[in-house]
Structure 1
Amino acid sequence: MSDHLDDLETRTSDAREADLFARLRPVLEAALSAPAYAERLKGLDPAAITDRNALSRLPVLRKADLPALHRGNPPFGGFVPASPGSFGRLFTSPGPIFEPEGTGADPWGAARGLFAAGFRRGDIVINTFSYHLTPGGFIMDSAARALGCAVIPAGPGNTEQQMEVISAYRPQAYAGTPDFLKILIEAAEARGVDISCIKRAVVSGAAFPPSLQAWVKERGIDAYQLYATADVGIIAYETSAREGMLLNENLIVEIVRPGTGDPVAEGEVGEIVVTNLDPHHPQIRLAVGDLTAVLPGTSACGRSNTRIKGWMGRADQTAKVKGMFVRPEQVAEIAKRHAEIAKLRLVIGRANELDTMTLKAEIYAEPAGLVDAMSSTLQQVTKLKGAVEILPLGALPNDGKVIADERPVG
Structure 2
Amino acid sequence: MPLPPHARTSALWDIFCRVIDNHGDLGVCWRLARQLAERGQQVRLWVDDASALDWMAPGARQGRVDSVRVLPWADSLSPGVLAALPLADVWVEAFGCEIAPEFIAAGACLSGARGQNGIENPPPVWINLEYLSAEPWVERMHALPSPVLHGPAAGWTKWFFYPGFTPRTGGLLREPDLPARQAAFDRAAWLRGQGIEWQGEPLVSLFCYEPPALGEWLAQLREAPAPTRLLATAGRASAAVLSSENSLQRPPVKREQLSISYLPYLTQPGYDHLLWSCDLNFVRGEDSLVRALWAGAPFVWHIYPQHDDAHHAKLEAFLRWLEAPASLADFHRVWNGTAPGPLPAPDLPVWRACALAARQRLLAQDDLATQLLRFVAEKR
Q: Give TM-score, length-normalised by structure 1.
A: 0.29
Pick 1 or 2: higher relative contact order, CA cutoff 8 A, min separation 6. 2
Higher share in strand:
1
Higher share in helix:
2
Q: Give TM-score, length-normalised by structure 2.
A: 0.30
